[in-house]
Amino acid sequence: MSEVRADTITASDGTGPVTLTKQSAAKAWSIFDQVNSNTIDDSFNISTITDRGTGSTYGNYTNSMSSVNYTVMGASSPVASGSMSATNQNRSTISSADTASRYSMNVYADSSQALQDEESQQALVHGDLA
């Protein structure tokens, strides 16, 4: 049996990330509170999130994607912990690759089809970095 232990693995140039073969990893993700503080609660490869108005945001990448051909998956929850209660309403989250340097997200209340702020707006991005 073999064992490999390492603290850091870099590409052969000594600075870049390694290339995953037949694998993929998230290139960016974020959790944003649009209700209480308009702050990023946690993130990876997200420099800022722009509040565009009720239920609508842009996520701006620290390192851009190689093109607009990438996938953004969004979810939202009315509370930061993600817990649900009988009073919570259903909501739809529509996320898309807006440009190579940002994604867009809109959150709608299913009952009214109106845009709605949520305490926990979550985005996950897969694709190729520039």
Between the alpha carbon of residue 96 and those of residues 37, 87, 99, the distances in Å are 24, 29, 9
Q: pTM here?
A: 0.78
State the chain's mean pLDDT as an integer.
88
Residues paired with residue 97 on neighbouring β-strands, in sequence order = 103
Q: What's residue 64's pLDDT?
A: 97
Nearest to 60 by CA among 93, 35, 32: 32
Q: Tell me the per-residue pLDDT of 26-38, one tens digit each, with 9 for 90 and over.
A: 999 999 999 998 9
Residue 17 has pLDDT above 80, yes or no: no
**Sequence ranges of the domains in the chain:** 30-126
Q: What's residue 89's pLDDT?
A: 64
List, in order, residues 6 or more apart from 39 with CB less than 8 Å away.
32, 33
Q: What's the CA angle centered on 100, arms 82 and 15, to 5 degrees?
A: 90
Six-digit token string for 32? 């944003």
Contact 33, 79 (CB under 8 A): no
Classify strands 102-109 and 91-99 as parallel, antiparallel or unpaired.
Answer: antiparallel
Residue 121 has pLDDT above 80, yes or no: yes
